[in-house]
Amino acid sequence: MKAVILAGGMGTRLSEETHSIPKPMVEIGGKPILWHIMKIYSHYGINDFIICLGYMGYVVKEFFSNFILHNSDITFDLENQTVNIHNTSTEPWRVTLVDTGLESMTGGRLKKIRDYVGDDSFCMTYGDGLSDVDISEIIKFHNSHNALVSVTATPSPGRFGNLKIKNNKVHEFGEKVMSHSHMINGGFFVIDPKALDYVHDDMEAWETEPMERLVNDEQLMAYLHFGFWQPMDTLREKHMLESLWQSGNPPWKTW
């Protein structure tokens, strides 16, 4: 199974960090948050990734192009022009990096990777959020119903898209309605490729018209998650995640 990660946004609310790197490359514990997200999926046996690039996408490409070198002991024999790699500590990952455009919205980015996901359902999440959600349980939940999309719904103080849910079926979707009484879009989707037909153009955000169309057609189901979930939208949230990592027991570290 493949996992798609949206990593193309500019991250303007975290400008202290993102003026020189894309938000998914902002580090928690010396590793990009993108790495942490991939480790979560890898723990559940998902090692085939498609990463949607946009803003400063070359930084992500350089990270993976040098991944083995950065995680190995190396002997450079300059005279003989050889490189020997020792004690490699790497990951069992296959990573496809796709330039989905600088200005594309999240729905447009998903539509642009349609040819890479094939015909089977795939996982999808954002490149700036961490959780202890059980990926295998989300997939099991998705396979238990006939809707095209499953979204992880999680409680929140309120500045995200609210989901109204009954018997796990999403009946209403509203983006960023201030409320303390709703479940919100926590990312960590499972998506049937047919759902990408609900995106009409590059400038549609997945979280607005496409998800609303899915709701209207009764094609959006919610997997309820009441454990840890935390996005990294601000410097304060970045520092909070860093503090959790330094504690030695970060709640998202399932591996």
CB 54 within 8 A of CB 6: no
Can you give the pLDDT at residue 157? Answer: 57
Positions in the chain whose pLDDT score sits under 70:
157-162, 174-181
CB 109 within 8 A of CB 116: no
Neighbours of 91 (CB within 10 A): 15
CB 242 within 8 A of CB 33: no
Can you give the pLDDT at residue 13? Answer: 75
Tens of pLDDT, residue by residue over 129-165, are: 999 999 999 999 999 999 999 999 998 755 556 677 7
Can you give the pLDDT at residue 108? Answer: 96
Can you give the pLDDT at residue 158? Answer: 52
- Residue 43's identity, in one-letter code, is H
Domains, the chain: 2-246 (3.90.550.10)
Coil, strand or helix: which one is 244?
helix
pTM above 0.85, yes or no: yes
